[in-house]
Amino acid sequence: MLQRLFMLALCAMPALWADVCDGLPAGPPERADASGSNKPQSFKLSVNSGGPAFRITVRPIWQLDTVFLVGDIHTGDIEVARCQDGKRLQALPIMADQPVSYGSTFHAEDINFDGYLDFSVLTEFGASFEIRSYWVYDPASRLFVQNELTRGLGRLGASGVSKIDFDPKKHEVIMWGDICAMCGCPNMTQDQGGGNVDRYRVVNNRLILIHKQEYEIHQKGGSFQFCLLTLSDLVGGTMRVTEVRRYDAQGQRVK
C-alpha cells in the first residue's frame, strides 16, 4: 500500500512542477492589429538570462461594440503569474480612453537600462502618435511597478511625441516629435518618425533631458523660406543652444 502511494506521488510531482509558460510566445506577431480583438492573450517574459520568468496575461474588458470612452477608465487588466508554479502575483489595471487590443501591442524592453526586461501596452493611438502604459521590473520585490519614469514616458506620449525609442548602447531614451516633411527631414529616415528630437538619460527613475532638436518653418508672404534647426545640449547642468542650421525644402543645408 505504501509503495503504491509513493508511486502515485511520484507521478503527480511533474504536474505540480510543470512550467505554466511552456509553449507561450514572448510577444504578439510583429504586425498585430492594435484595433483588433479584445480576447485575452498570454506571453512568457523572462526578465533576464537565468532570472525569473513570468506568464503575462493581458485581459481587455471593454465590450466589442465600444467605440468611444469618456476619460481614462478601467478597460483591462494585466495578470502576472510565476511560470514555475502558476501562482498569481499581480493584477495590474489598464486605464485608457479608447478601446485597444492591448495584447496585440504588448512589448517587452529594458526601458531603464538595468539589465531586466520591462513591458508596456498601447493605450491610445492616432494617425501620428501613440501613448503607452509602462511597467518596470523591480528585482528587489520581483514585481512589476510604475514609478516616475513610467509616468514620465506616459506624459511625453500624451504631449504629442510620435514615437519613443530606447537605445541600449547609449542608455538613452529618444523621443521623435512632429513630422518635418516640408524640411525634408535632414539626416533622418522615414521610419524614425519626425523632425523634433529629444534625447534623455534615465537617472534615479527620472528622465533627464540631454539633447533637444527643434525645427521651425519660416515663411514670408505665405511662401516657404527655409527650415531652422536649433540644437541644444545639456552643458554644466543647463540646456544651452549649441548650434543653429538652415535647410531648404529638400532638406539641403543652406547658409
Answer left, alpha or beta for residue 86, where phi above 0 means left and psi between -120 and 50 means alpha: left
**Number of domains making up the chain:** 2
Q: Report if residue 9 sits inside a domain.
A: no
Establish if 2 belongs to a structural domain. Answer: no
pLDDT value at residue 195: 56
135 and 203 assigned to the same domain: no
Q: Are residues 171 and 64 in the same domain?
A: no
Domain end position, chosen among 119, 144, 160: 160
Last residue of a domain, which of 133, 160, 187?
A: 160
pLDDT of residue 15: 46
Q: What is the pTM of this model?
A: 0.81
Written as nine digits, the cell of 21 is 509558460
| pLDDT at residue 248, rounded to an integer | 80
Domain around 173: 164-255
The pLDDT, as a whole number, for residue 5 is 46
Domain assignment present for 30: yes
- Number of Cβ within 10 Å of residue 100's Cβ equals 26
Of 160, 181, 207, the residue that ends a domain is 160
Indicate whether 171 and 241 sit together in one domain: yes
Whether 242 maps to a domain, the answer reads yes
pLDDT at residue number 48 = 94
Q: How far is CA 24 from the centre of its chain?
A: 21
Question: In angstroms, rounded to a whole number, what is the distance separating the alpha carbons of residues 191 and 187?
Answer: 12
Alpha-carbon distance of 111 to 119, in angstroms, equals 8
Any domain includes 5: no
* Residue ranges in the chain whose pLDDT is less than 70: 1-18, 32, 36, 63-71, 158-162, 178-196
pLDDT at 185: 56
Q: In terms of domains, do 41 and 85 share one?
A: yes
Domain assignment of residue 12, yes or no: no
Say yes or no: 72 and 99 in one domain.
Answer: yes
User: Is 49 a domain residue?
Assistant: yes
Both 121 and 70 in a single domain?
yes
Same domain as 204, residue 107 = no
The three-class DSSP label of residue 184 is: coil
Pair 55, 127 in one domain: yes
- Classify residue 142: in a domain, yes or no: yes
Distance between CA atoms of 42 and 28, rounded to whole angstroms? Answer: 9
Whether residues 97 and 114 share a domain: the answer is yes
The identity of residue 52, as a single letter, is P
Residue type (1 letter), 20: V
